[in-house]
Amino acid sequence: MSDLALTQPVPLAIARGNGKRSLRIVQSLCILVIALVMISPLFMLLIASLKDDRFRILADMGSFRAFWVSDPTLSNYKEIAHFSGELAYGRYLFNSLAILVATVVSGLVINSMAGFVLAWGSLRGKAALLALVVALYVIPQESIIMPLVVMMSRAGLTDTFAVQILPWVASPLYVFLFYQFFAQLPKELYEAAEMDGASAFRIYRSIYMPLSLPALATVSILMGIESWNQYLWPTLVTQTDYARPIAVAIATFFGQDSIYWDRAMAASVLMMIPVLILYLAFQRWFVSSFVGSAVKG
């Protein structure tokens, strides 16, 4: 009896169950490996910022000691958290936050209004304007950056907060994103409000903007990250510490004679926190916007 049982084929349902279980294990292992690869640089950055010896940080890089600290300290953060003096990275962080908030808030208003006009406005040549907006998006920013520098210099805006905000408030990408979102809303919504006597601006402000939370969240995060990571433009248009952002200030740790890895790591951690908070605040709408775009696309 036992010999017969051993020679019987494995039932198909059991074989499929074992196959699915094996597939799930392989998928989980792949996700775990990808997560470790993505998180390991951030973890190494955090650990290095808690070490008080820059030569030790440099020596630990490339080995498992980079992921461990025996005597953690916050001395690096204390050294750079000042609003005045040589290591005034608190001020640089404040400058970056002010530029980010002003750019995102004004950018949401201007880009959403442009997208609304392209979607529901009665302008002639809307199709040509939309084609122009899309065409402008493919032009690299670096190709127009020198004329922009000259224009800002002639306007007397060099070394100010305004010079880091105004050129990046309007973007073809974000205008197109808002246009695409508004154009997908029902036409009857606009016509019903228009029949009730609402003006175009009131329809935009009271009806379409409250419905566009996913688009607002997506543009806020993308625009915030773009503004926060600006390096080339602030380097060209700022000469003093007055309005210099933290992305440019971190470069001062990498001098010709020595590199201050400890302070640079602490400043990098501080630089990372605001954009993480921005993402977590809008995460729900950001993910739903991307999932919806993928499904519709």
Query: Helix, strand, or coil here: 63?
Result: coil
In a domain, 7, yes or no: no
145 and 239 assigned to the same domain: yes
Q: Which amino acid is at 186?
A: P
- Residue pair 127/247 in contact (Cβ under 8 Å)? The answer is no
Say yes or no: 54 and 105 in one domain.
Answer: no
In a domain, 48, yes or no: yes
Query: Is 143 domain-assigned?
Result: yes
151: domain CATH number is: 1.10.3720.10
State whether 50 and 106 are in the same domain.
no
CA distances from 180 to 116, 120, 215 (A): 9, 11, 9
- In the chain, the number of structural domains is 2
Are both 198 and 229 inside the same structural domain? Answer: yes
Neighbours of 225 (CB within 10 A): 13
31 shares its domain with 169: no
Say yes or no: 65 and 148 in one domain: no
Q: Are residues 185 and 223 in the same domain?
A: yes
**130 and 165 share one domain:** yes
Provide the sign of the torsion angle of the four alpha carbons 158, 161, 166, 169, taken in this order: positive
pLDDT per residue as tens digits for the range 6-59: 555 666 667 777 777 888 888 889 999 998 988 888 899 899 999 888 888 888
Q: For the ranges 80-94, 119-133, 151-165, 271-285, which has the lowest average pLDDT?
A: 80-94
Percent of residues, the chain, with pLDDT higher than 90: 23
Output 88 or 226, whichever has higher pLDDT. Answer: 226
| Inside any domain, residue 276 | no
Please, what's the b/e burial string for 35-54 (b: 16 or more CB within 10 A of its CB; e: otherwise)?
eeeeeeeeebbbbbbbbbeb
182 and 142 in a single domain? The answer is yes
106 or 191, higher pLDDT? 106
Q: What is the pTM of this model?
A: 0.78
Same domain? 217 vs 186: yes
* Same-domain status, 188 and 129: yes
- Per-residue pLDDT band for 174 (boundaries 50, 70, 90) equals very high
Question: Which structural domain, as residue segments, surrounds residue 149?
Answer: 89-252
Q: Which of 83, 121, 74 is nearest to 265 (CA)?
A: 74
Burial of 271 (0-12, 13-18, 19+ CB in 10 A): buried
pLDDT of residue 184 exceeding 50, the answer is yes
Residue 264 in this model has a pLDDT that exceeds 90: no
Same domain, 231 and 100: yes
- Across the chain, mean pLDDT equals 84
